[in-house]
Amino acid sequence: MDYGNYGGGGYTSYGAGGGVGAGGFSINYGGSQGGSQASPGGSASRGGRSASTLRPVTIKQVLEATQPHPEAEFKIDDVELTQLTLVAQIRSVSEQATNHTYKMDDGTGSLEVKRWVEATAIPDGPSQKLQPNQYVRVLGTLKAFGGKRHLGAHHIRPITDFNEIHYHLLEATAIHLQLTKGPPEQFGQTTGGVGHQMHGQGHGRDVAMGGMGAAAGGGGGSRQYPPDASFHCKKLIDAVRSKPQHTDGTHVNTLAQMSGLSLSEVEKAIYELTAAGLVYTTLDDNHVKILEEQI
Partner 1 sequence: MTEQTPRINAPLLQQYIGRTIRLVGKVSDVQGNGATLDSSGVVTVYLDRDSNLKIGNAVEIVGKVNPDLTVKVLTSTDFGENLDMRVYEDLVGICQQYKEIFYDS
Enumerate binding residues for partner 1 (CB under 8 A): 57-58, 60-61, 89, 105, 107-110, 133, 135, 161-163, 166-167, 169-170, 172-173, 176-177, 209, 212, 216
- Shorter beta-carbon distance to partner 1: residue 26 or 61: 61
| Amino acid at site 169 | L
Q: Is the dihedral of CA 47, 49, 54, 58 positive or negative?
A: negative
Please report how close the Cβ of residue 216 comes to partner 1 at its closest, in angstroms.
8
Backbone phi, then psi, for 16, in 5-degree steps?
-70, -25
Please report how close the Cβ of residue 264 comes to partner 1 at its closest, in angstroms.
35
Please report how close the Cβ of residue 44 comes to partner 1 at its closest, in angstroms.
30
CB 91 within 8 Å of CB 110:
yes
CB 22 within 8 Å of CB 194:
no
Please report how close the Cβ of residue 115 comes to partner 1 at its closest, in angstroms.
21
- Shorter beta-carbon distance to partner 1: residue 215 or 236: 215
* Cα distance between residue 101 and residue 150, in whole Å: 10
Please report how close the Cβ of residue 77 comes to partner 1 at its closest, in angstroms.
9
- Shorter beta-carbon distance to partner 1: residue 1 or 130: 130
**Residues 6 or more apart whose Cβ sits within 8 Å of residue 289:** 245, 247, 248, 249, 250, 279, 280, 281, 282
* Cα distance between residue 173 and residue 291, in whole Å: 31
**Beta-carbon neighbour count of residue 254 at 10 Å?**
16
Report the DSSP beta bridge partners of residue 80: 75
Determine the distance from the C-alpha atom of residue 254 to the mean position of all C-alpha atoms in its chain, rounded to a whole number: 36
- Shorter beta-carbon distance to partner 1: residue 93 or 209: 209
- Shorter beta-carbon distance to partner 1: residue 13 or 264: 13
The three-state secondary structure class of 107 is coil
Please report how close the Cβ of residue 133 comes to partner 1 at its closest, in angstroms.
6
- Shorter beta-carbon distance to partner 1: residue 172 or 255: 172
* DSSP 8-state secondary structure symbol assigned to residue 28: S
Please report how close the Cβ of residue 160 comes to partner 1 at its closest, in angstroms.
9
CB 286 within 8 Å of CB 249:
no
- Shorter beta-carbon distance to partner 1: residue 56 or 249: 56
